[in-house]
Each structure stands twice: as C-alpha cells, then as structure tokens.
Amino acid sequence: ETPEDELEDEPTGRPEVVDVIEAGDSYLDHTGRLVDGQQLTMFGVAAPPVHGSKSEAPSADPDPGPQRPTVVDLGAELREAVEYCKTWTSRAARRRAELRGPGENHYAALNLTYSRETGLRGALSTPDQYRAKGDWMKRQFAAWG
C-alpha cells in the first residue's frame, strides 16, 4: 500500500469533488437559481462550510436577526376603500331614489349632505376618509331601510 492510498482512505469530513462538468457561462446564485453570467474558475479556494454536518454543533439560540419590515400595498388599500365607498354611495342613492322619486340627482344630494355634516370639502385622499364616507353612506342606507 502506498502513502497516497492511505491519504485517500482517511475520512476528512469535508465534501469531495467527484466530477466536474463545464457549465458554460451559467452558475447557481446564492438562492439556487440558474443565472447567466461570467464563467468562474476557482482553483485553490476552500469549499464553503457544509451546514448540517455532524461536526457542526447546532446552536441553542439562533439569532433571529433584524425584523423584516411589514410591506403594505397602499394602492390596493386605497382601491378597496374607494370601492367600499362607491358601493355604499350607490346603494344609498338608489334607496333614496326609491323613496323620493327620480326628480333630483341623489348622488349629489348625498355627497352634499355628507360634506355639510362632516365639514370635509373637496376630494378625499386617504383610505380612512373613504371608509368613513362609506360607513356614513351605509348608515344612511340602513336608516331608510
């Protein structure tokens, strides 16, 4: 038995390169996706540590790291609030038209009454304002029930 055979038989606990296949200009990034890019030739660079090996002791209390911020879709929130307001305004206007007849613009009358009662003038700009107006229209609809 030669000294080279002895070295090959010893378990080192590290990954072993078994075969190399040329991949061209593509590589796997840190997330595991195949990405087109510059071909890298790495000679003499140590392999990254293997997670989950027997030699690596599991940490008792892993650091959770910084908390990820909550992502809020403001556009969707505003669209939902506007849709809610439009729905209840339409229902209240139709109910008012059933009760008072077709002689006037019921949408305009409801909007005028809302602005007089709340003191808000001009266009609404926040989801909370649209929800508040939708809630007011819903109360008007229920009052004529």
Reported as a single tens digit per residue, the pLDDT across 26-56 is 656 677 776 665 555 555 556 667 666 555 5
CA distance 15 to 48: 9
* The predicted structure's pLDDT at residue 145: 75
Burial class (CB in 10 A: 0-12, 13-18, 19+), 80: middle
* The predicted structure's pLDDT at residue 61: 57
Decide if pLDDT at 59 tops 80.
no
Whole-structure pTM over 0.85, yes or no? no
State the residue for tokens 């909370």.
128
Which contacts (CB < 8 Å, 24+ apart) does range 112-115 have? 113/140
* The predicted structure's pLDDT at residue 5: 58
Higher pLDDT, 113 or 59: 113
* The predicted structure's pLDDT at residue 43: 58
CA distance 15 to 55: 13
